[in-house]
Amino acid sequence: MYYIKFIMKNNVLKLIKYLYYFSLLVLVILYLFPGSLIGYFLHGDLEKQPNIVNNPIGTSINHLFYFMFLTILASVCNFKQNQFFINFNFIFFISIFLEITHIIIPNRAFEFYDLLANIFGVIIIILFRKLIK
């Protein structure tokens, strides 16, 4: 019985790890595509960024939520092992790097609020994780 629980627990962690890597790949594709793929699929317009939640900040809230989600997945994956692609430093670096690449990508614009939302999304989960420990 213990062996079955161990296998199921291990499979769930593998599934979360695959979800993390898939989410990371989706993030890179969405950031590096010249235009808004989500806006194209939802509104038929590469220029329009959809809002997950109506708010005064605008689309920066999307960045905050996605980086919080990504950091939560990395936190679960990093529970027993310490790999570079699951490391919080990597997520912090990629949050800054991908937003800065918008300076050179056509039909994309660097926005300081998006950069702050990326960074805060990572920091909020790191602080929450330290608070729990």
Question: Which amino acid belongs to residue 36?
Answer: S
Who has greater pLDDT, 31 or 77?
Answer: 31
Q: Is 80 exposed, middle or buried (0-12, 13-18, 19+ CB in 10 A)?
A: exposed
* Per-residue pLDDT tens over the stretch 70-125: 999 988 887 666 665 568 888 999 999 999 999 998 888 888 999 999 999 999 99
What are the structure tokens assigned to 100, written together?
Answer: 């800065």
* This prediction's pTM: 0.82
Range of the domain at 42: 2-132
Residues 6+ apart with CB under 8 A from 129: 75
User: Do residues 21 and 77 make contact, with C-beta atoms less than 8 angstroms apart?
Assistant: no
Tally of structural domains, the chain: 1
* Per-residue pLDDT tens over the stretch 16-26: 889 999 999 99
Q: What is the CA radius of gyration of the chain?
A: 17
Mean pLDDT calculated for residue range 47-64: 75
Taking the CA atoms of residue 8, residue 11, residue 12 and residue 15 in that order, the dihedral angle to the nearest 10 degrees is -160
Q: What is the pLDDT of residue 81?
A: 60
| Residue of 88, 65, 92 lying closest to 75 (CA atoms) | 88
